[in-house]
Structure 1
């Protein structure tokens, strides 16, 4: 699938109509989502024929992108039932399969199931300090067998800087839209 085609399909996904500030729910736009997953697949082979988990999947954008790029199996995990309903409707609309699980990441236990690739747009950690680092800790713990024993990555690399457009969603937002610089990271667990 070509990048523009992927971006176009993701651009039609339903997003939050009433995002929850306490969960730091922000939509992952089609521009950034398509580039993240396209890069993961075409530069590293991290998506096609892999088991992909989308942590904090929200409306399912990243997980759906993984499915469209040929992931063998995609698991979307979110604590919010309304997000999972939107993700389910989005997956159904694009005729892709997502296994959706309602769970707080701190309570996640795959019990031996191997996840090859974790994708996520973690909360920024501005409303609940440290929640962004909890997402990263859980991600490293569930990427391949070796990470089950050791949370230390053998490599951590910034692939590129992207622009994340945050629309005015909450009362405390003062601007119509804010363009934030974010880094696209790739972590590889020891032994992978």
Structure 2
């Protein structure tokens, strides 16, 4: 599949219009369907067994040829829309409704994880909670979005505390985030976001 075709298909996905600030306020807006993010993943893709947290990367993984794709989200409405998008694109994707803290998987059971976690603005450390789980279950790589302002912290924590052997910023993205909730003081905020690639220290066989 050519990159332009991938971007076009992802750009036509049905949007999730009611994000919950507890967990997924940025899961629709700060996604991996921007042209720069798409092109970066397009060049870096290296998985046959794929796991994603939040639903937009599911379609990208399947369209790029992953043999098996699992999408995890805590929100039932988000998963319903993801399922409809997969059906419209005739993609085979397995969806699981689950809080990542209760995932219950042990060992590296997937090749690659792609995610756009909460940034920890409302709940401090939420993005690191996601990264901790992702690095536990991925054997090859984790692709993840984090605020550029936290770059030093993310790299230090990943290498020192979260079992990553390497942490690389692939590109910097910019998103205009509109006012969604009462605690948002401005009508729109421009946010710089890094697309990271993390590699776990250990690569073992698939197990649970």
TM-score by length of 2: 0.78
Cα distance in 2 for residues equivalent to 1:29 and 1:21: 14
Match of 1:91 among 86, 90, 95: 86
1:132 to 119, 123, 127: 127
Whether 1:54 and 2:52 are equivalent positions in the alignment is: yes
- Name stretches of at least 5 consecutive residues in structure 2 with no aligned partner: 141-160, 204-208
Indicate conservation of the 8 Å contact 1:33/1:61, yes or no: no
Q: Sort the Cα spacing of 1:33 and 1:52 in 2 relative to 1 into closer, same or farther, 3 A.
A: farther
SS state of the match for residue 78, structure 2?
helix
How far apart are the structure 2 equivalents of 1:116 and 1:22?
28
Partner residue, 1:180: 191
| 2:172 is the counterpart of 1:161 | yes
- The residue that corresponds to 2:115 in the other structure is 120
Q: Give how far 1:160 is off.
A: 1.4
Distance 1:11 1:111 in 2: 34
Change (3 A) 1:95 1:167: farther
- Cα distance in 2 for residues equivalent to 1:71 and 1:34: 20
User: What is the match of residue 20 of structure 1?
Assistant: 20
Higher alpha-carbon deviation: 104-113 or 68-77:
104-113
Asked if 2 retains the 8 angstrom alpha-carbon contact of 1:63 and 1:74, the reply is yes
Cα deviation for residue 31 of structure 1 reads: 6.8
Change (3 A) 1:29 1:107: closer
Indicate the residue corresponding to 1:40 in structure 2.
Answer: 41
Moved more, 136-145 or 91-100: 136-145
Q: CA RMSD in A?
A: 2.3
Any idea what the Cα deviations from partners look like across 1:19-73, whole Å, max 9, x if unmatched? 212224221467745543542342x3424xx111111x1xx21111111111111
TM-score (normalizing by structure 1): 0.84
Match of 1:141 in 2: 136
The range that moved more, 69-78 or 28-37, is 28-37
Unaligned 5+ runs, structure 1: none
Counterpart CA distance in 2 for 1:41 and 1:6 is 9
